[in-house]
Amino acid sequence: MAKTKIAFFCKECGFESNKWLGKCPACNQWDTFAEAPRAAKKVSKGVGVSSSFTNNEPLELSKVSMTENERLKTGMREFDRVLGGGIVKGSLVLVGGDPGIGKSTLLLQICKLLTDQEVKVLYISGEESLHQIKMRAERIGKFKGELLLYSETNLDIIEEAIHKVKPAVLIIDSIQTMFKEDVSAAPGSVSQVRESTAVFLKFAKTFGISTFIVGHVTKEGMVAGPRVLEHMVDTVLYFEGDSGAAYRMLRGVKNRFGSTNEIGVFEMRQNGLAEVKNPSEYMLQGKPKGQSGSVVCCSMEGTRPILIETQALICRTNFNMPRRTSAGTDYNRVNLLMAVMEKRLGISMAECDAYVNVAGGMKVTEPALDLAIIAAVLSSYRNLVIDDGMIIFGEVGLTGEVRAVSMAEQRVLEAEKMGYETCIMPAVNCKSMKTSHMKLIGITNIKEIINYIK
Query: Is 343 annotated as ligand-binding?
Result: no
For residue 344, the surrounding DSSP H or E stretch is: helix 331-344
Tell me which amino acid residue 160 is. Answer: E
Q: Is the dihedral of CA 75, 253, 299, 416 positive or negative?
A: negative
Q: Chain-centre distance of CA 142, in angstroms?
A: 29
In angstroms, rounded to a whole number, what is the distance separating the alpha carbons of residues 2 and 244?
53
Query: Is 373 annotated as ligand-binding?
Result: no
What residues form DSSP beta bridges with 358? 310
SS3 51: coil
In angstroms, rounded to a whole number, what is the distance separating the alpha carbons of residues 442 and 448?
9
Query: Is 99 annotated as ligand-binding?
Result: yes
In angstroms, rounded to a whole number, what is the distance separating the alpha carbons of residues 109 and 273?
8
Q: How would you class 379 by CB atoms within 10 Å of its CB: exposed for 0-12, middle for 13-18, buried for 19 or more?
A: buried
Query: Is 387 annotated as ligand-binding?
Result: no
In angstroms, rounded to a whole number, what is the distance separating the alpha carbons of residues 300 and 262?
9
Query: Is 101 annotated as ligand-binding?
Result: yes
Query: Is 392 annotated as ligand-binding?
Result: no
Contacts of 356 (CB under 8 A, 6+ apart): 310, 311, 312, 325, 326, 327, 329, 334, 373, 376, 377
Query: Is 164 annotated as ligand-binding?
Result: no
Per-position DSSP letters for 246-281, written without gaps between them:
SEEEEEEEEETTS-SS-EEEEEEETTEEEE-S-HHH
Query: Is 50 annotated as ligand-binding?
Result: no
How many C-alpha atoms does 255 have within 13 Å on its Cβ side? 23
| Binding residue ranges for ATP | 97-104
| Binding residue ranges | 97-104
